[in-house]
Structure 1
């Protein structure tokens, strides 16, 4: 405890120490977990782009998700389903990544423009071997982004494409002068350019994007990035295809060999696996016991270790932190629902998944000095989806509700949080039971998001709010009796937020009782 106290004394001003000396060095026998939220030391901005999403031509994410035919009797614009648009606007989706994923490196953009009945078909060899008719292409995607009021993030084809192909796509999207590409764009009904800035140069180039070495990919990136031009009003944020999980060598090679001025960001992919490792049997989305729940949360919290490792390498080459770490594929990956196409990756979404989302977003918030963009995989009907549909039916998953609670952090200023979490113990293993992030928005409101992953114990917290003045505390909670609880089309609101009244203020402290299996968002006003 003495070491912890000395650390705090170095971080805080004398005024804060005088006010909080009674709570920063408490006995370890104290029943409540002591949490210090430091309002005197505001940190970096939490980029709204951390709350981004991912939509690939995979299963029923695009077709039967965003894009539906005339037989589906729901409000739509063209083929874009508007109830989905309204739900995503509510959580302020900041960006949407498309067309993949592995699909991006077999996608040729010119097949997806022009009259739909004249677009060539292709085989989606990555996902189910189904025929892709290209009816949802560049114009449709960018119309969707306009409706969502979000920024598009386009992944370009490096694996099976060419430098010329990517260069012309950028020109088609972003140039406002006279050129062959702008002429074609205007013929297809779009007079002005979209000015798309976020641009991925390939995807998973270590695997489905070409099985490249990092040295080879770094050279390819420089070549492709050279010809992906900046046009007036559209300066590209070029994003390199980064590491798979703990491949620290990939990050090292790319950071060493790619000029920082050419690369806005570099990606990292990590999926939470209930089994703890890649295998054909990843574990069920709905039928699991506590042992598998624990393994899942351990895989989720491994994100912290990964970020620390990759950030240390990036700091070596880029101490000014100009290059963003972009975690543009994350989330839980389970077995598909029984009876569904295994290539469609359709899985249910439980209270466990809500805790995966909440814990991961807290980690991202606390690493916002380097993590400036992230994309949950995937938005609709695939992997850890926000929304599930079945013809006209529609439901919001527990994960959706987490993003709704956490939207308060978008573009707010990070407030440091210091505490020692109680342990969630399973057999001979243990995890921190509680994770927290805090921020202050432009209106001066402070928001705290807290997750208790322990399925058995409520955890009392004392939040000591240094330099934070407030008159009122309100809150919302997402919880459910069982970690296997899900929303279904028959019971779409089994897991949903409710008012949280177990936060009691006294001066600059809050007593908070965190129920087992819960996510809480507090607003101090």
Structure 2
């Protein structure tokens, strides 16, 4: 039996709601036929946005949404997306070389901010730091945020239908500048970041700038970036920074099978690579702290998820670039990732799963009038209880899984766990990484006791390859049951390849 100890007297920190963020890029079917169908569409919509998606997304409390890219951001001109839609230019999308699609610019700053308001999320804008000027980036911030009537750009925003400022707080200065964002060296990018941040900060003291960090394959980027960044100390000027961006994809190039066809070892290989995000976060944060001991900066994992790069054209529905089916494998991977973010909420201040709809690790599939919530959507629905709660120390002891793939042997834990407490409600989220066995789990509560009854929510299916599709939109959904813990111990059975949420009333023995 697996034993988990949860300590009510050892809090890691507050779980920032922005850890449960999302990503909308002008890529494939994310925007057009994804979130946007147009105001004249026969598909039910709210101000042009797909009504069913808006309503379902709002239910899971999406705290923040990143836009317009991704790689798309590094050739985006914000002026193309303002003014009367019928007069906006048609341009070449950054992804044109992959799918031949052009950009209509029907969704620009005004529309995206409206989408965020409809779902009660904060907007996070990614700024073009490669093919535009520092002044144009600063002007975009002024256009969005300056008070009504104060400047010519504020008047222009009013003329375009938005007298009140957008108050966009989060600005990412560049995207993947080590790759599609200009193939820069960390020193080159650091020089650009410093310029953008120091010039743009005059538009508003509330602005929070996010710098481009590495993806998992080039961790050394960080050391070189911070060495260059610290040169500013000699002149006494520090370019402001709220967060440092990391990208982490569990990239399937074949060793993990395909989306729907894989062996047990291939399942476990995906879980192992997903678990490796934890030491990546820890090492990156250690470098960040060493470089800036007096200036707290958080980690922003603004792209993460499973990416079946060789298999992303599966006919479910198989229409858009990098579209892929979502099964219980993606759901379990999402759950273990969110557990890691919860346990490192003292380091991670934001995370954005890639992407919202019709692309990579989607929460939705949309086509025509149909809109389907994937298995990963239900993980976010179950985990929303953690937002703004206090993350608790957890200790997991017991079974590990050993497997061999491509001649190498590996070991992973059977259970991933995180726990939080808010208003005397304890939330425990569990992911069973075993594709073969149910797990009996004994949960000890230290420095407190369970009170009354609780609920157990289980997301599982007879086959781990099951998911939701246009033909079977509700094939995999959570099932709820009552449970009755006693004292300070609770035993539950977690089905194979499943995600579980336990919601339990409790009280602490800690002195008030």
What TM-score, normalized to structure 2? 0.91
1:462 to 438, 442, 449: 442
Match in the other structure for 1:217: 189
Instruction: Say which is worse superposed, 301-310 or 391-400, in terms of deviation.
Output: 301-310
What displacement does 1:341 show? 7.2
Higher share in strand: 2
Distance in 2 between the 1:358 and 1:107 partners? 33
RMSD: 1.9
2:26 paired with 1:45: no
Instruction: For 1:272 and 1:53, locate their aligned partners in 2 and report how far apart those are by CA, in whole Å.
Output: 17
Matching residue within 110, 113, 129 for 1:142: 113
Whether 1:355 aligns to 2:328 is no
Residue 487 of structure 1 is matched in structure 2 by 468
Structure 1 residue 308 and structure 2 residue 282: aligned?
Answer: yes
Instruction: Compute the displacement of 1:72 (Å).
Output: 4.3
Tell me, in whole angstroms, the C-alpha distance in 1 between the residues paired with 2:203 and 2:282: 36
Which residue of structure 1 lines up, in the alignment, with residue 136 of structure 2?
165
Question: Structure 1 residues 341, 450: closer, same or farther in 2, change over 3 A?
Answer: closer
Aligned to 1:20: none
* Contact 2:197 2:239 survives alignment (8 Å): no
Partner residue of 1:416 out of 369, 393, 399: 393
Check conservation: 1:51, 1:375, Cα contact below 8 A.
Answer: yes
Residue 295 of structure 1: which of 249, 269, 272 is its match?
269
For normalisation by structure 1, the TM-score amounts to 0.89
Where structure 1 has 5 or more consecutive residues not aligned to the other structure, the ranges are 1-31
Q: Which moved more, 1:186-195 or 1:59-68?
A: 186-195
The whole-number CA distance in structure 2 between the counterparts of 1:108 and 1:361 is 33
Aligned match of 1:512 in 492, 505, 508? 492
Task: Report deviation, 1:504.
Answer: 5.1
Q: Which moved more, 1:375-384 or 1:245-254?
A: 245-254
Q: 1:336 and 2:308 equivalent?
A: no
1:452 and 2:424 matched: no
Superimposed CA distance per residue, residues 367-417 of structure 1 (whole angstroms, 9 cap, x where no aligned partner) = 111111000000011111101111001111000000000000001101100
Q: Name which of 142, 151, 173 aligns with 1:201.
A: 173
The aligned counterpart of 1:266 is 244
Match of 1:25 in 2: none
Moved more, 65-74 or 474-483: 65-74
**Contact persistence 1:465–1:509 (CA under 8 A):** yes
Superposition pairs for residues 58-97 of structure 1, below 5 Å?
Answer: 58-69=27-38, 72-97=41-66
Give 1:120's aligned residue: 89
User: In the TM superposition, what is the alpha-carbon distance from 1:273 to its structure 2 partner?
Assistant: 2.1
Task: Give deviations 1:302-328, integer Å, cap 9, x for gaps.
Answer: 111211221221121234671010000
- Contact kept, 8 Å, 1:205 with 1:241, in 2: the verdict is yes
**Deviation, structure 1 residue 474:** 1.2
Helix, strand or coil: the match of 2:450?
A: coil
2:454 aligns with 473
Structure 2, unaligned stretches of length 5 or more?
231-237, 506-512
Distance 1:293 1:320 in 2: 43
Name the stretch that deviates more: 132-141 or 491-500. Answer: 491-500
Task: Determine whether 1:255 maps to 2:226.
Answer: yes
Q: How many residues align?
A: 487
